Amino acid sequence: MTSTDTISGARYVAEALHAYGVTHVFYVDAILRRSMVDMEELGIRRVVVHSEKAAAYMADGYARVSGRAGVCMAQSVGAANLAAGLQDAALACTPLVAITGKKPPMFQHRNAYQEIDHWPMFQPVTKYNVDVVAPDMLPHLMRQAFRSATTGKPGPVHLDLIGREARELELAEGLPHPIADSSFTVYPPFRPQADAPSIAAATRAIQGAERPVLVAGGGVRISNAAAELTALAEQCSIPVATSVNGKGSIDERHALSVGVVGSYSSWCANRVVYEADLVIYVGSATGDQTTHDWRVPRLGTPIVQIDIDAAELGRSYPNTIGVAADAKAALQQLRDALPQHGGNAPWLARTRELVDGFAAQQHPMRVSSETPIRPERLCQELSNLLPSDAILVSDTGYSAIWVATTVALTSPRQTFIRAAGSLGWGFPAAIGAKCAAPHRPVVCFTGDGGFWYHFAELETARRHGINTVTIVNNNNGFSQGIADVHEQYGDRPGNRDELYRFNEVSFAQIARDMGCFGVRVETPEEIAPAIRQALDAQLPAVVEVMTHFSARAPAPWTP
């Protein structure tokens, strides 16, 4: 091998990311500075942000929308912040490659400045967590990182590169040019089919059920299986609920759509799933949120569960009919195995009755002309205006409930992604989503409590021309917990407001000060024009909508 056949460690990292199709890296300086020079040459956008957690969230949004692993980075002392940011990706099964620097072995165990052990912090939030202590380990560990992140149930991985800023690794010479395994440049890399006996068992269960319901989880989005889900539902006339994560897997105005089930839910969906005599989970973790603490469906209800990870099958429900397969592949296999069926008319009528009942109950709030504005009215206006190719990003807490219950996704070209629980995730994730799909409108729905975390990233968005629309449901406080705070106080005197109230601040003004578009909305009639202006602004935009602090999101129906 001549010297031109080999490259430096710095060049290796840049070429490897490029070979895996990575178009953006999200990070806080100082990490891989030499590589960054090579990345520029290779056309990779280097997005320097204002906190490592935001970098992880951006990579997460990027990965959820692009279908490729997202990449985020931090120097050694930023590792703890970066690890914290991986929690949401781990919960949502997003493939990320997180890269940090770690001081060389001779600095270990002697009170090195700025450094604690990284490995234990990354262990619970990654599928694969390794130290790259010698440059010649990089080729196989980099390839394994992408392989692990994208396969099976996807998730974050962590490479700890030698050198506080990975400089020791960058300076190494004699590495080969990287080879990316093309399968792992996208996810899902493979679509394993279910075996014949499990398809036969699932088919029998579906044919024998009088009141079946499909529940689509985030795995349907990851597998890109929305079309197959809707096709199976239509072929067999089976109603469809989704988890929050699976929202948008079916047109939510479709006659078979019953809404979002679980704790952040429409009560109609909980009732449908509770009344069902067969629940078919597709790509769902069947965790506490989707099952409302395992109270919906009714215990003992027969379950079919399709999951890429066989170890998930029956985790929540014994005697589950398990189908170990990619969601898209298994849904197609079920379609091939099942005849067209008009469904059970009384069951379909019952599900419509429940769905219509929920809509009728919500209607007055959705058209309310109150000021401060009702969040339902805000979401209804957003629902009406959301472009047919939009990416909607929701923060957590009430933001997730308002969106889950009140914004209808109606086009297969719309994408919905949501925080798996981390308050503040929404805005940075929307920035990442926009990097992955620059030509699609990206709208983030967040409360002010959520926006406070990372609004500094407006500067990042402005600097890079990442023009998302952020709708801030601004009630100057944390409203989801108020009822509980009151309950804890009971009759005791004291300063309750201190636990959930913030100073009044105008995020619209802050946005304008950062060179972005910002508009404050105080009456319902102003909502639609403001959203339209924001969508057309050609700038990062903030629509700050002043809403009722005391508005309570719909409580989940509980048996």
Ligand X SMILES: Cc1ncc(C[n+]2csc(CCOP(=O)(O)OP(=O)(O)O)c2C)c(N)n1
Q: Which residues bind ligand X (CB under 6 A)?
A: 396-399, 421-423, 447-450, 473, 475, 477-480
Residue type, 475: N
Which residue, 75 or 394, has its beta carbon nearer to ligand X?
394
Which residue, 66 or 396, has its beta carbon nearer to ligand X?
396
What sign has the CA pseudo-torsion 362, 363, 367, 371? negative
CB of 485 vs ligand X, minimal distance in Å? 11
Which two three-digit tokens encode residue 379? 């979401």
Which residue, 150 or 243, has its beta carbon nearer to ligand X?
243
CB of 374 vs ligand X, minimal distance in Å? 12
CA 309 to chain centre: 19
CB of 450 vs ligand X, minimal distance in Å? 4
CB of 422 vs ligand X, minimal distance in Å? 5
Strand order, beta sheet including 391-394: 415-418, 391-394, 442-447, 469-474, 541-546, 517-521
CB of 29 vs ligand X, minimal distance in Å? 25
CB of 449 vs ligand X, minimal distance in Å? 3
Which residue, 61 or 447, has its beta carbon nearer to ligand X?
447
Which residue, 501 or 512, has its beta carbon nearer to ligand X?
501
CB of 84 vs ligand X, minimal distance in Å? 9
Residues 374 and 473: their CA atoms lie apart, in Å, by 10
Our CA angle for 65, 328, 387, nearest 5°, is: 40
Each as own residue / partner, the long-range contacts of residues 122-127 (CB below 8 Å, 24 or more positions apart, any chain) are 122/79, 122/83, 122/86, 122/98, 122/158, 122/160, 124/90, 125/83, 125/86, 125/87, 125/89, 125/90, 125/156, 126/86, 126/90, 126/98, 126/155, 126/156, 126/157, 126/158, 127/155, 127/156, 127/157
Cα dihedral: 219, 223, 225, 226 (round 10): 60
**210 burial level (CB within 10 Å; 0-12, 13-18, 19+):** exposed
Which residue, 447 or 540, has its beta carbon nearer to ligand X?
447
CB of 444 vs ligand X, minimal distance in Å? 12
Picking from 117, 91, 88, the residue whose alpha carbon sits closest to that of residue 102 is: 117
Which residue, 128 or 425, has its beta carbon nearer to ligand X?
425
Q: Are 217 and 285 in contact, with CB atoms under 8 Å apart? A: yes
Which residue, 305 or 396, has its beta carbon nearer to ligand X?
396
Other CB atoms within a 10 A radius of the CB of residue 277 amount to 17
Q: What residues contact residue 436 under an 8 Å CB cut-off, 6+ apart?
A: 23, 24, 61, 62, 63, 65, 66, 68
Which residue, 53 or 464, has its beta carbon nearer to ligand X?
53
Which residue, 423 or 433, has its beta carbon nearer to ligand X?
423
Alpha helices in 187-250 (DSSP H): 196-208, 218-223, 226-236
CB of 175 vs ligand X, minimal distance in Å? 39
CB of 127 vs ligand X, minimal distance in Å? 22
